Amino acid sequence: MKTREVKVLNRGLEDEMEVWGYRPCLWKAVLVGVGAVCSGGLLLLLLYWLPEWGVKGTCTHTSLRDAHTLLLRTTDEFRQWFRARVHVMSAPGAEPFRRLDQDPLANGDGDHVTREHHGKGSHTRPAQIHYFTLHSTRYFWNDSLHNFEVHTGLEDLEVSCSRIHSEHSGGLGRRQQEYRALFFGENEISVRVPSVFKLLIKEVLNPFYIFQLFSVALWSAEDYYYYATAIVIMSAISIATSLYTIKKQYVMLQDMVAAHSVLRVCVCRGNSEVEHALSTDLVPGDVIVIPANGMVMPCDAALIQGSCIVNESMLTGESVPVTKTSLPSSGEGSADRYHLEEHKRHTLFCGTQVIQTRFYAGEPVKAVVVRTGFSTEKGQLVRSILHPKPTDFRLYRDASLFLLCLVGVAGIGFIYTIVLSIMNQVPAKTIIIESLDIVTITVPPALPAAMTAGIVYAQRRLKRVGIFCISPQRINMCGQLDLVCFDKTGTLTEDGLDLWGVHRAEEGSFSPPERSAANTSMADSAFTSCMAACHSLTRIEGELSGDPLDLKMFGATGWVLEEPTEEETALHNPLTPTVVRPPPANQNSPETENTVFEVGVLRQFPFSSALQRMSVVVRRLGDKHMEVYMKGAPEVVAGLCRRHTVPQSFAETLETYTRQGFRVIALGCRRLDSRLSWHKVQSLSRDLIEKNMDFLGLVVMQNKIKEETSGVLCELRRANIRTLMVTGDHMLTAISVARDCGMIRPHETVIIADAAPPKDSCPASVTWRHMENPAGAAKDAQTVEINVEDEDHDSRVAPRYHFALSGDAFAVITEHFPQLVQKLLLRATVLARMSPEQKTQLVELLQGLHYMVGMCGDGANDCGALKRAHSGISLSELEASVASPFTSSTPNISCVPDLIREGRAALITSFCVFKFMALYSIIQYLSVILLYSILSNLGDFQFLFIDMAIILIIAFTMSLNPAWKELSWRRPPSSLISGPLLCSVLTQILTCLGFQVLAFVLVRQQSWYETWTPQSDACNASSSRIPHSSNATDPHQHKNIRNYENTSLFYVSSFQYLAVAVAFSRGKPFRQPSYKNWPFMLSCAGLYAFLLFIMLHPVPAIDGFLEMVCVPHAWRVTLVVMVMVNAAVCFVMEEANDRWGPSLLSRLFCRRNRPPRLSYLHLALELQDHAQWPPGPSAVTYAGDPL
């Protein structure tokens, strides 16, 4: 017997899975077949719903190498199970990047084939390769690893940039391409729209619909045809609606992906041959030619020749053209291993639009294919949409537990019915039907549809205010948000930057600041030339296009940008140069009348968020030497400049500007040796060029806060929702903006955590820098008090503190100070210079503290965090918003409180509807159990009236309450299995039980009571003439529906449904009052009026339809009084539970002194009495120090 073998796939990645191997087992398959026949197919359904049972029930364990079927389980908190079939294919080799022998089309690659090939390739037997496919990803067996692996693309070779140039720039031969295609398949992000039949089968096999099918079959056996037909119609409408929605989403996604997914491309077959091929035939290693007029990229490819201007809005949400340059072939950067993320400035991503190409004279722009299909960045995005992670929300887990409780109640009724029926010698068929009927009554078939209604209505209301949702299940999550992270630029502040002024540095000191950079005296200065030349702007259809910051800086100079034509480029032979020159007015000035002043850009190093700078190599017309211009973050630029050129007051001046919220850009320049040729410059690494610069000065930009920002943040603070700023901007600028918009209030202290990595023998350290209070409040910054319950509403709380840290400090602290991370995040408010990956990591860490995290960004560099957050809100309507569950057409953060309000309303609606549907089941269950005791039941049309006229109308109209107009500081409950909610449900159940039992007992004690017969006429008969007798029921009487107990319980229970609906339909502080929900009020009023009318003024036709009997008027009045008292008790009990329930339960179960369950509240309580926290001003904490 083989030992059980388990391996881990995608270790350390988001989709990490455990995998087991199985092979078919004949005797197990036979047993399952017999069980399926005996159970009428129910066993097959169970194995379909539980794939792990399906595999274990039909297969036996084996090694992964010999497996025919694989069982996989995710390692995250959801522990999802999947099964996959192992396939076998024949191939000339087992490795996709192996060189094949005898490939005449490879031309220059023939030598490599001979060197790398071992043995007689043409005579070897084909390799048998085992693989399986899961979630659009193909996994191949690797004998050396003894595990399955994914072939991503060219990155698997771990080659350097220089090796890509030397070994992969010639292209693949046809035979080599066909061989790799066996492993990588077609280069296509295929979104196959399932057929309606397939979707129908998948939808119908949902456990809920199977239960409905069982219910309909049971009701049909009881001749309850009308109600069964109504349920069938409802189910058909629900299934049709669901199929239409799912089909529409598939078609929309397919249309988005299919656009330009298949096109003809020029592929290099060897060093000289070029052929046209379909993009679906591309494989990693192919070399494609980018046409001069651009194209939509069908794959991820690394530029190896020329440069491109690309629109990457599909991926980043930012429609700013980006310049892509070729991979370095020599110099320091060429030895680095190629990585898609690290070399994204040299990579063209699938789905992005190449707008223009720039190339050498006569030389095409080339790129080597790195990834194809679902391995591309676009493919991974589509895959995450096709196969999303399940929504982890406590409400849905608790709902399942609550349904199990109802199933338990149904089990009690099931046993009770069987025992009672046997004691009364009821026929076996009737026993089976009636006992199973209890189950269908206790678990309401309409529950999922009713609970979905509130989310659907909230989604419609959000759409009316310009918020679009692609994940409706997350609307309820929005109601639980207690922390929201905001990007700064474009989210809290305006997109555009205005030039406030310039501050030039001359001879190691600052000149007085100037408000304009277009002065005549500055026209030919290095400062103005740097502003005009150091950018990535380009002309597209005659219009300047590029980064808004670049556009503002260039526009401030008044200079003109020209891009030569192809003929001019061919004349000069270098990479197409961009030329900038002063406007004609400046060219005619006395200083320049004898010369033409212009600057040509010869090489560009694009802006890198990791390096926080960009630079260009330029040559002025007539000069023999070249110059380097650089701009970037002030602290970075100053660090690359010669020390004597940086003014001594640099730090003080920079702090002055950043404290006022200005965005500051530093400029630098350097004159290169005149002996350096253009060709030599092209091969120099960035690090060799960007050093020994001369500091030129500062460009001061003003980034205005959006009008809505302060009001929204104030509203969130009043609602006790914490806010964070996560930005790529300078620390002091971010702190200033946080103070200006109210995220940090004037009396609150900011503590900057400066972390330094270990160096030599010195361990990593954190220096705590307390910023002075700009409001000048003379209070002790060390006095800190944390009120966990409601810190924002207690004016007695001492001045709070906020942590601020940079991306570099964040990286050091997470690596070297793991014990500090949670303490910092508990009070961190400003996180500056954060990379996109760090934003995502931050969201994950906050979720680890049990925060419900929202993320609001403009789509640029925020995609990862938007996807990771519980609720991601994109302010960009571009295609990148597909990564975010919510997209706002309003370009400001006013959408955040709107979304939270609607989320809270939808969440409370879900609770109300669930409680109502649970009470509906229990009330009907109680009625049926009482009637079963006399071998009676509710009639077919009574069931129909209750379920259709009362329950469905009420359930769907009580969900229409709009959200409350203000955000309350109170939080909606997050769990169905909570004390107050269970107390509410139990008290209502006991109340309804008490009044039903009262009605059942009282009616049998009336003087006119007798065993009802068709000749009975209690309404007109004299009480003295009717003898009192037991309600003996003839077992042969069909169903025994018509009797006094049935009529009394029907009236009482009908009013109980309405009473609990009104009691549960709460308004303030999360929803508008019920009286503003006119459909619900009209429905309740109409049903109350109808029921009172038929109670007090019986109509024979209605009584006959509902199978009720006539009872004396005095008893009808008694029932009216009873239901009114019942309703009053329901309202009083619910109000008392809302007001005093939580505190009473806390005292009763001694929960007042228990620590909070949420990690961040527990940590806040711990730190409240921590004398050494926060650290004092200028304190230093070293790695390993006790904290």
Q: What is the pLDDT of residue 1153?
A: 59
Mean pLDDT along residues 234-263: 75
Q: What is the pLDDT of residue 745?
A: 83
Token reading at 1144: 């009473």
Cα(811)–Cα(938) distance, integer angstroms: 68
User: What does pLDDT average to over the chain?
Assistant: 78
Buried b (16+ CB within 10 A) or exposed e, 751-782: bbbbbbeeeeeeebbbbbebbebeeeeeeebb
Q: What is the pLDDT of residue 273?
A: 78
Confidence of residue 1037 (pLDDT cuts 50, 70, 90): very low
Cα(354)–Cα(375) distance, integer angstroms: 20
C-alpha distances in angstroms, 570 versus 263, 362, 579? 29, 7, 15
Mean pLDDT along residues 551-562: 82
Mean pLDDT along residues 643-655: 86
Query: What amino acid is encoded at 20 in this protein?
Result: W
Mean pLDDT along residues 145-172: 85
Q: For a pLDDT cut of 90, what percent of the chain falls above it?
A: 6
Confidence of residue 1052 (pLDDT cuts 50, 70, 90): very high
Q: What is the pLDDT of residue 1126?
A: 92
Cα(15)–Cα(731) distance, integer angstroms: 35
Q: What is the pLDDT of residue 361?
A: 55
Q: What is the pLDDT of residue 834?
A: 81
Cα(828)–Cα(822) distance, integer angstroms: 10
User: E strand or H helix at 316, and its extent?
Assistant: helix 313-316
Q: What is the pLDDT of residue 1056?
A: 92
What digits encode the pLDDT tens for the residues 460-510?
888 888 888 877 778 888 888 889 998 877 788 876 677 888 888 887 788
pTM, entire model = 0.73
Count other Cβ atoms within 10 Å, centred on residue 900: 24
Top pLDDT among 64 and 359 is at: 64
| Lowest-pLDDT choice from 157-161, 820-824, 993-997, 1135-1139 | 1135-1139
Confidence of residue 1122 (pLDDT cuts 50, 70, 90): very high
What's phi and psi for 135, nearest 5 deg?
A: 55, 50
Q: What is the pLDDT of residue 776?
A: 40
Cα(773)–Cα(187) distance, integer angstroms: 58
Q: What is the pLDDT of residue 1086?
A: 92
What digits encode the pLDDT tens for the residues 355-398?
877 765 567 888 999 998 888 888 887 787 777 776 555 666 67
Query: What amino acid is encoded at 227 in this protein?
Result: Y
Mean pLDDT along residues 135-161: 87
Confidence of residue 1029 (pLDDT cuts 50, 70, 90): very low
**Cis peptide bond prior to 1069, omega within 30° of 0:** yes
pLDDT at 520 over 70: no
Cα(830)–Cα(1112) distance, integer angstroms: 75
pLDDT at 226 over 80: no
Cα(870)–Cα(907) distance, integer angstroms: 15
Q: What is the pLDDT of residue 1058?
A: 92
Residue 520 DSSP one-character state: G
What digits encode the pLDDT tens for the residues 751-795?
888 888 888 778 888 888 887 655 443 333 333 333 333 344 433
Q: What is the pLDDT of residue 313?
A: 66
Q: What is the pLDDT of residue 496?
A: 64
Yes or no: say if 867 and 874 are a contact pair by the CB < 8 Å rule. Answer: no
Q: What is the pLDDT of residue 741?
A: 85
**SS3 (DSSP) at 747:** coil
Residue 762 DSSP one-character state: B
Top pLDDT among 349 and 14 is at: 349
Q: What is the pLDDT of residue 1091?
A: 92
pLDDT at 730 over 50: yes
- Beta strands 765-770 and 749-756 are antiparallel
What digits encode the pLDDT tens for the residues 886-940?
888 888 888 889 889 888 888 888 888 888 888 888 898 888 888 888 888 888 7
Mean pLDDT along residues 60-81: 86
Q: What is the pLDDT of residue 791?
A: 40
Top pLDDT among 1092 and 250 is at: 1092
Mean pLDDT along residues 410-434: 78
Cα(1016)–Cα(507) distance, integer angstroms: 115
Asked whether the CA dihedral 141, 142, 145, 150 is positive or negative, the reply is negative
Q: For a pLDDT cut of 70, what percent of the chain falls above it?
A: 83
Cα(99)–Cα(169) distance, integer angstroms: 15
Quote the crossing angle between the two packed helices 1159-1168 and 818-827, to the nearest 10°.
90
Token reading at 28: 């197990």
Yes or no: say if 860 and 876 are a contact pair by the CB < 8 Å rule. Answer: yes
Q: What is the pLDDT of residue 772?
A: 63
What digits encode the pLDDT tens for the residues 587-596?
555 444 444 5
Q: Of 534-548, 598-612, 987-1001, give the range with the top mean pLDDT.
A: 987-1001
Residues in the chain: 1187
What digits encode the pLDDT tens for the residues 4-61?
667 888 887 778 889 999 999 999 889 988 888 888 788 888 888 888 888 888 899 8
Q: What is the pLDDT of residue 877?
A: 62
Mean pLDDT along residues 725-744: 82
Catalytic residue IDs: 487
C-alpha distances in angstroms, 414 versus 219, 423, 428, 986? 16, 14, 14, 21
Q: CB burial class (10 A; 0-12, 13-18, 19+) of residue 796? A: exposed
Top pLDDT among 82 and 317 is at: 82
| Helix and strand counts by DSSP (H, E) for the chain | 38, 41
343-348 long-range Cβ contacts below 8 angstroms, 24+ apart: 343/161, 343/302, 345/606, 345/608, 346/161, 346/302, 346/303, 347/300, 347/301, 347/302, 347/303, 348/290, 348/297, 348/300, 348/301, 348/302, 348/303, 348/308, 348/310, 348/324
Cα(488)–Cα(242) distance, integer angstroms: 39
Ranges of beta strands (E only) in 776-933 are: 801-806, 828-832, 853-857, 871-874, 886-888
What digits encode the pLDDT tens for the residues 110-127?
333 334 444 444 455 778
Q: What is the pLDDT of residue 390?
A: 67
pLDDT at 729 over 60: yes
